[in-house]
Amino acid sequence: MEVHASAPGKAILCGEHAVVYGLPAIAIPLSGIRARAIGKASADTLTIFAEDLGQAPLRIVGDEYDRANPLSLMAGLTAKLVGAASMSGEIRIRSELPIASGLGSGAAVSAALGRAVAQLYGAEIPDEDLNRIVFEVEKLHHGTPSGIDNTVVVYEKPVYFRRDAALEVITIRSGLRIVLADTGVASLTRDAVADVRALARKAPKRTGRIFDEIGTIVAEARDCIERGSLDRLGALMTANHELLQALTVSSPELDSLVDAAMKAGALGAKLSGGGRGGNIIALCAEDSLCDVKDSLLAAGSKQVLVNGAGHGSRDDDSD
């Protein structure tokens, strides 16, 4: 018997970085771009194959998982949760998500793997428990994660996220036409987060003001999403990008893609995620979608994806 599990990528619409300091942020699942885990039973050891992540096969014997390895930790914590004394089986990870580019690859791989490990033992993990474990693994990837990535990826719903607060799912009034454009520059979120922390120590008042301004943008953006005010939402996203520039987490490549999207008629554009590299996200009206896409490719984007957030469906564990 084979088991199949998956989890989506994600994009942050607004609020990244400030969210680490307790301000709100909004993220949406990218249901069309997923990490998948396919498992089957086998004796003695659990072997995880993850070529898409550039990793050699990983073997876990008994309950001896490696807390410093994200795949091993995820499998180990899941086995513990479902009461499996020792691990066995074969799991193959496949991921359509680029690594280190702000699309939630780490959280999606963890969530898909956790679901597959649980299924191998005939169990189903409630999202609440899965979210808690994926968050533990996120600490290996990001150092001090806010928890937004695991939350949006596990629940696969648009979220208004605040650290240590109850989950708030938001309703997208009119579908959001989102274009994601990859700079092709891989960057580690943990480095960008550490640099923002250093900035907050060096210039606490100024940085605190930027965080507060981002918080105000996020609150209004939520209102716009729920009321369908897309022009205003776009303007807020672009203003958020400027504040992220002030936090030093943009880059020439990100700025040039944001400019290209705006010149081609996007309603708004900003970097999405940790920054320094990775993706920008542009909000578009239907009639500018093609122009924005072309302009981003002409400006050097390595990959352009179009996502209809709010119209996506959950591609679930039965595939």
Least CB distance to ligand PMV at residue 192 (A): 6
Asked if 103 and 32 count as a contact pair (C-beta separation under 8 A), the reply is no
Asked if residue 268 binds ligand PMV (CB under 6 A), the reply is no
| Token pair of 280 as six digits | 């920008």
Asked if residue 241 binds ligand PMV (CB under 6 A), the reply is no
Instruction: Please say which residue, 240 or 295, places its beta carbon nearer to ligand PMV.
Output: 240
Instruction: Please say which residue, 192 or 230, places its beta carbon nearer to ligand PMV.
Output: 192
CA distances (Å), 116 to each of 62, 75, 93, in order?
17, 9, 10
Q: Kindly give, in sequence order, each residue whose CB lies less than 8 Å from that of residue 232, ignoring residues fewer than 6 positions away.
A: 220, 224
Is residue 149 part of the annotated active site? The answer reads yes
Q: Which stretch binds ligand PMV (CB under 6 A): 12-20, 125-133, 257-265, 297-305?
A: 12-20
Least CB distance to ligand PMV at residue 163 (A): 8
Q: Which of 7, 12, 176, 236 binds ligand PMV (CB under 6 A)?
A: 12
Distance CA 98, CA 11 (A): 12
Catalytic residue among 149, 182, 212, 316: 149
Instruction: Please say which residue, 118 or 210, places its beta carbon nearer to ligand PMV.
Output: 210
Residues 177-196 that bind ligand PMV (CB under 6 A): 189, 193
- Amino acid at residue number 25: A
Question: Where do the DSSP E strands lie in 20-88?
Answer: 25-40, 45-50, 55-61
Nearest partner of 286 among 180, 183, 174, judged by Cα: 174
Question: Where do the DSSP E strands lie in the chain?
Answer: 2-14, 25-40, 45-50, 55-61, 89-95, 159-161, 168-169, 176-182, 268-272, 279-284, 303-309
Q: Which stretch binds ligand PMV (CB under 6 A): 46-54, 72-80, 126-134, 146-154?
A: 146-154
Q: Which of 149, 156, 253, 317 binds ligand PMV (CB under 6 A)?
A: 149
Asked if residue 145 binds ligand PMV (CB under 6 A), the reply is yes
| Token pair of 296 as six digits | 């981003």
Asked if residue 277 binds ligand PMV (CB under 6 A), the reply is no
Asked if 288 and 265 count as a contact pair (C-beta separation under 8 A), the reply is yes
What is the contact mask toward ligand PMV in residues 74 to 103, using x (rule: CB under 6 A)? ----------------------------x-
Asked if residue 276 binds ligand PMV (CB under 6 A), the reply is no
Asked if residue 274 binds ligand PMV (CB under 6 A), the reply is yes
Asked if residue 109 binds ligand PMV (CB under 6 A), the reply is no
CA atoms within 13 A on the CB side of 57: 9
What residues are annotated to the active site? 149
Binding residues vs ligand PMV (CB under 6 A): 12, 16-17, 19-20, 102, 142, 145-146, 148-149, 189, 193, 273-274
